[in-house]
């Protein structure tokens, strides 16, 4: 008999009743060190008092207001996003997938608005993940996501990840956009070198194609910059944000330059819940915290400490791990064993991690993780790996 919850997930036999900072706690009080943070979502830790206050304060006033009216909390969040990024404008969504959908629509509308509606090919990369809507799976093209869901939305061409020669050969002055994650998340914590990101920007500039960056997983301080593309000193035309921006409350956004958003006039897009007061009150508070310079310098300091300890872990278990990669607190351990086995061994040591493609174990802890918790995390990962040592 089919379960009452549609069985689309492979779930661990675990449930959490509450959380405290970097800890997720079961009903019987067992404490798990959370290095997954809901897959890069709980950026400021579980039950962060600032975010609880922002949410409950707003909850006592008004929960939902239609976008038929002004929503001051949404305007405040948009102001913070625009002031701290390349963007001139923001549309607030409830999730990363919705942000991807709008980004794709915005690209198409941009060219339509310029009088060139047939210019709609978007170049994407193998290993990409932009969500599970029909548009987002077509953008990814991965067999495991698209199988059985055809006919797929047309307009995407998939290139090998990081293959700049393939991109140079594919991009033309008929290309509508290039869309990618600066650090692939689901694809296995694979950062694109800064030089490649700069080359992609230059190729877009030469051809007129829009550059669309998906920073749903890599954004909001995760890599030690507010957004990962800042390392390369470039800016996109359109960017998707989600996950960490809500600190655990469903929230996303599409940011864009005025030029890229030129076609998105009244009536071209909308959402009942997107930009609601509850989500935006939390998101604005997250932005205020993450944009403090000392917050990001602490992320970088802790990332250095974590990474150094992980190098030691890899050296101690050469049969289990191959290498450490990633940026900031978006870390991956490329494994020689199946990462799912390590995730399971982690449960036995009360540490939560997340598997990704390319045989990689993902470590995406709350950005507020303490030095002591980093040491504890590595001790637990060491014991977990010990369970798989051959
Ligand atoms: C890079 C990236 N884009 C988009 C998404 C989709 O976001 P959501 O699950 O909030 O719809 C994800 C989710 O993992 C992601 O990592």
Instruction: For residue range 16-46, list pLDDT tens digits in order.
Output: 999 999 999 999 999 999 999 999 999 999 9
**Strand 330-335 versus strand 360-363 pairing type:** antiparallel
Nearest to 178 by CA among 232, 109, 128: 128
Residue 95 marked ligand-binding: no
Q: Ligand 1 center to residue 316 CA distance, Å?
A: 33
Nearest to 113 by CA among 176, 157, 172: 176
Q: Which CATH architecture has domain 50-290?
A: 3-Layer(aba) Sandwich (3.40)
**Per-residue pLDDT, 306:** 98
Q: Ligand 1 center to residue 135 CA distance, Å?
A: 13
- Evaluate: CB of 214 within 6 angstroms of ligand 1: yes
54 and 285 Cβ atoms separated by less than 8 Å: yes
Q: Which of 92, 104, 124, 130 is the best mutation target for the ligand 1 pocket, counting ligand atoms within 8 Å of the beta carbon and taking the most?
A: 130
- Evaluate: CB of 129 within 6 angstroms of ligand 1: yes
Residue 217 marked ligand-binding: yes
Residue 214 marked ligand-binding: yes
- Evaluate: CB of 124 within 6 angstroms of ligand 1: no
Give the dihedral sign, CA 292/293/294/300.
Answer: positive
Nearest to 363 by CA among 384, 336, 333: 333
Instruction: For residue range 197-219, list pLDDT tens digits in order.
Output: 999 999 999 999 999 999 999 99
347 and 29 Cβ atoms separated by less than 8 Å: no
- What whole-number distance in Å separates Cα of residue 253 and Cα of residue 292? 20
**Per-residue pLDDT, 389:** 79
- Evaluate: CB of 96 within 6 angstroms of ligand 1: yes
- What radius of gyration do the chain's Cα atoms show? 21
- Evaluate: CB of 145 within 6 angstroms of ligand 1: no
Domain spans in the chain, listed from the N-terminal domain onward = 18-48+295-386, 50-290
- Evaluate: CB of 373 within 6 angstroms of ligand 1: no
Enter the CATH code of domain 18-48+295-386: 3.90.1150.10
- Evaluate: CB of 95 within 6 angstroms of ligand 1: yes
CA distances from 107 to 72, 254, 336 (A): 28, 12, 40
Going residue by residue through the chain, which has 390 residues, state the pLDDT in tens, using 9 for 90 and above. 999 999 999 999 999 999 999 999 999 999 999 999 999 999 999 999 999 999 999 999 999 999 999 999 999 999 999 999 999 999 999 999 999 999 999 999 999 999 999 999 999 999 999 999 999 999 999 999 999 999 999 999 999 999 999 999 999 999 999 999 999 999 999 999 999 999 999 999 999 999 999 999 999 999 999 999 999 999 999 999 999 999 999 999 999 999 999 999 999 999 999 999 999 999 999 999 999 989 999 999 999 999 999 999 999 999 999 999 999 999 999 999 999 999 999 999 999 999 999 999 999 999 999 999 999 999 999 999 999 976
**Per-residue pLDDT, 241:** 98
- Evaluate: CB of 130 within 6 angstroms of ligand 1: yes
- What whole-number distance in Å separates Cα of residue 177 and Cα of residue 206? 12
Q: Ligand 1 center to residue 131 CA distance, Å?
A: 5
């Amino acid at each position: 008999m089919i379960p009452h919850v549609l069985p689309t997930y492979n779930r661990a036999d675990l449930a959490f009743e509450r959380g405290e900072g970097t800890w997720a706690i079961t009903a019987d009080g067992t404490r798990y060190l959370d290095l997954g943070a809901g897959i890069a979502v709980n950026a400021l830790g579980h039950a962060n008092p600032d975010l609880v206050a922002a949410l409950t304060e707003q909850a006592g006033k008004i929960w939902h207001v239609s976008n038929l009216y002004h929503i001051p909390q949404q305007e405040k969040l948009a102001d913070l996003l625009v002031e701290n990024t390349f963007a001139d404008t923001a549309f607030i969504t409830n999730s990363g997938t919705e942000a991807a959908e709008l980004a794709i629509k915005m690209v198409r509308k941009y060219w339509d608005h310029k009088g060139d509606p047939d210019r709609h090919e978007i170049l994407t990369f193998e290993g990409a993940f932009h969500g599970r809507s029909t548009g987002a799976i077509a953008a990814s093209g991965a067999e495991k996501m698209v199988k059985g869901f055809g006919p797929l939305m047309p307009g995407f061409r998939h290139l090998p990840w990081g293959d700049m020669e393939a991109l140079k050969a594919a991009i033309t002055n008929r290309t509508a956009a290039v869309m990618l994650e600066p650090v692939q998340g689901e694809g296995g914590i694979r950062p694109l070198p800064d030089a490649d990101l700069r080359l992609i920007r230059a190729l877009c500039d030469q051809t007129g194609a829009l550059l669309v960056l998906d920073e749903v997983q890599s954004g909001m301080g995760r890599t030690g910059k507010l957004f990962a593309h800042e390392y390369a000193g470039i800016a996109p035309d359109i960017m998707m944000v989600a996950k960490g921006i809500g600190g655990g409350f469903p929230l996303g956004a599409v940011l864009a330059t005025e030029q890229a958003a030129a076609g998105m006039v009244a009536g071209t897009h909308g959402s009942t819940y997107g930009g609601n007061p509850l989500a935006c009150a939390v998101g604005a508070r997250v932005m205020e915290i993450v944009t403090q310079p000392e917050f990001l310098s602490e992320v970088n300091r802790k990332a250095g400490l974590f990474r150094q300890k992980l190098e030691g872990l890899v050296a101690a278990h050469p049969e289990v791990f191959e290498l450490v990669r990633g940026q900031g607190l978006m870390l991956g351990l490329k494994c020689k064993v199946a990462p799912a086995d390590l995730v399971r061994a982690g449960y036995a040591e009360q540490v939560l991690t997340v598997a990704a493609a390319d045989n990689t174990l993902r470590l995406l802890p709350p950005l507020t993780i303490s030095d002591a918790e980093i040491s504890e995390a590595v001790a637990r990962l060491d014991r977990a790996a010990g369970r798989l040592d051959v």
